[in-house]
């Protein structure tokens, strides 16, 4: 039996070249077979097609065509974030240059738990995290798997600074990962402040900070899950300073505005946070995963220090080998910094900011189409690139049925959000290549598939 080739080493590139052609051809074939933003037929039909195409996942004898078959099946059954009618979630279409960079990570397979497994990658990550932290007015940052992990680490750092009695205070608009992190860490029950207007009200927050005993961690949001709204960060920061509370800002979605000269002002007050969540597999066009947790005081991150003699022996550290274990709660960890750094270096801040401006402009164009159409109602002008709308006079049941009908038939992918006591369709526009015709088509599809 011949040994299968490896992806790295002297023979790695030559072994990969024909396989890459196979993958690219299978992606194209699967995309053509799908024909739209989502596979048609719903969950059961997709599951049947996958099972029938793949058969036995672990056969007795290997299948030389497995790579082509499985990639084609994946592509045919994918929700394609690059399709202009796929606009439900903060699930961005990744840039080609970032995806190509990620291939190098897969081939070389560095692990950032010790310097001897990732010599260049460890320095690259340090350069990237300091650069992005400085852009947000922070001292340092850690690479995470996304906003959820970043929020968990933020609460952990706050607990290590203020003790186990620390209590989370956040709006009902906050991401679900925040109260979940409080539960995970054994913190007291969070204080959830109602947000009837969609953002955290400073008056309600002031009352809470006055009446609830500390220590308190206030979590504000820059880019809410439902509508992409931004809490009044300067007012919230002033209140936390006055009352001696710690401040965390979850900017997993809105943090991408930092690259835009036109929209950065919406994040005024971001640099007042003690910790900050960023997520570049949303408004940064990175393949998953690409999150960060930034800290205003780099000393806060020392709480994550951990010792394992085979990875960061004291004498190795004293001899100058970087200690990487304290840069994450994970041990084995891929260098997701590479794809981000390649993107920043290739596009520059202005190039990345132009993409941000483009998708924000698309959201306003779509909102204008909704406003001008008598058959639709707009929730509010978009803050970032999320638009909430619904057919005029429709019930919540009709709105939900319309969305599921489009999903099941593979016509369009829209999200849903409950605000103001009603259910809304949610379009999150993250494809900078979207054209005006695509926006019109999306609205026409909703109109044509709404039960009357």
For residue range 119-153, list pLDDT tens digits in order.
Answer: 999 999 999 999 999 999 999 999 999 999 999 99
CA angle 351, 151, 95 (to 5 degrees): 25
Say if residue 209's pLDDT is above 80: yes
Confirm if 130 and 274 have CB atoms less than 8 A apart: no
Determine whether 36 is exposed, middle or buried from the number of CB atoms within 10 Å of its CB (0-12, 13-18, 19+).
middle
Q: Report the C-alpha gap between 375 and 394 in whole angstroms.
A: 10
This prediction has a pTM of 0.97
Q: Per-residue pLDDT tens for 308-350?
A: 999 999 999 999 999 999 999 999 999 999 999 999 999 999 9
Confirm if 118 and 112 have CB atoms less than 8 A apart: yes
Q: Is 427 left (phi over 0), alpha (psi -120 to 50) or beta?
A: beta
Confirm if 205 and 219 have CB atoms less than 8 A apart: no
Among 88, 28, 52, 70, CA closest to 414: 88
Q: How far is CA 384 from CA 125, 224, 429, in A?
A: 28, 10, 9
Confirm if 346 and 106 have CB atoms less than 8 A apart: no
Q: Per-residue pLDDT tens for 339-395?
A: 999 999 999 999 999 999 999 999 999 999 999 999 999 999 999 999 999 999 999
Confirm if 322 and 116 have CB atoms less than 8 A apart: no
For residue 1, the model assigns a pLDDT of 63
Where does the pLDDT of residue 32 fall: very low under 50, low under 70, confident under 90, or very high at 90 and above? Answer: very high
For residue 421, the model assigns a pLDDT of 93
The pairing of beta strand 191-193 with beta strand 167-171: parallel
In total, the chain counts a number of residues equal to 452
For residue 359, the model assigns a pLDDT of 98
Query: How many other β-carbons are positioned within 10 Å of the β-carbon of residue 299?
Result: 10
For residues 182-194, give the mean pLDDT: 98
């Amino acid at each position: 039996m011949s040994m299968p080739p490896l992806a790295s080493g002297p023979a790695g590139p030559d072994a990969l070249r024909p396989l890459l052609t196979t993958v690219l051809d299978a992606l194209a074939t699967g995309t053509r077979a799908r024909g739209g933003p989502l596979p048609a037929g719903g969950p059961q039909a997709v599951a049947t097609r996958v099972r029938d195409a793949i058969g036995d996942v672990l056969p007795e004898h290997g299948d030389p065509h497995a790579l082509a078959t499985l990639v084609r099946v994946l592509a045919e059954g994918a929700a394609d974030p690059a399709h202009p009618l796929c606009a439900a979630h903060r699930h961005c279409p990744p840039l080609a240059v970032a995806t190509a960079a990620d291939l190098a990570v897969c081939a070389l397979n560095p692990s950032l738990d010790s310097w001897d497994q990732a010599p260049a990658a460890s320095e690259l990550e340090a350069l990237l995290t300091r650069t992005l932290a400085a852009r947000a007015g922070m001292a340092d940052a850690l690479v995470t798997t996304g906003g959820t992990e970043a929020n968990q680490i933020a609460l952990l750092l706050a607990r290590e600074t203020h003790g186990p009695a620390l209590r989370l205070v956040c709006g009902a608009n906050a991401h679900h990962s925040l109260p979940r992190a409080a539960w995970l860490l054994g913190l007291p029950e969070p204080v959830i402040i109602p947000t009837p207007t969609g953002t955290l009200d400073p008056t309600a927050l002031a009352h809470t900070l006055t009446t609830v005993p500390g220590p308190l961690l206030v979590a504000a949001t820059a880019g809410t899950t439902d509508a992409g709204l931004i809490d009044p960060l300067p007012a919230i920061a002033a209140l936390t300073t006055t009352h001696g509370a710690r401040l965390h800002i979850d900017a997993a979605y809105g943090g991408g505005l930092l690259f835009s000269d036109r929209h950065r002002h919406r994040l005024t007050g971001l640099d007042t946070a003690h910790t900050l969540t960023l997520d570049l597999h949303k408004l940064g066009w990175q393949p998953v995963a690409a999150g960060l947790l930034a800290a205003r005081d780099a000393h806060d991150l020392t709480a994550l220090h951990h010792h394992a003699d085979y990875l960061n022996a004291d004498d190795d550290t004293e001899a100058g080998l970087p200690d990487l274990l304290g840069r994450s709660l994970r041990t084995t960890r891929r260098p997701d910094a590479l794809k981000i750094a390649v993107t920043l270096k290739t596009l520059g801040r202005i190039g990345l900011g132009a993409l941000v401006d483009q998708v924000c402009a698309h959201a306003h164009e779509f909102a204008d189409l909704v406003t001008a159409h008598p058959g639709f109602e707009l929730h509010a002008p978009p803050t970032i690139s999320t638009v909430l709308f619904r057919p005029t006079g429709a019930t919540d049941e009709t709105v939900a049925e319309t969305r599921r009908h489009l999903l099941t038939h593979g016509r369009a992918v829209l999200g849903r959000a409950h605000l103001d006591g009603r259910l809304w369709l949610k379009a999150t526009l993250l494809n900078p290549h979207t054209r005006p015709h695509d926006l019109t088509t999306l609205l026409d599809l909703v109109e044509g598939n709404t039960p009357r």
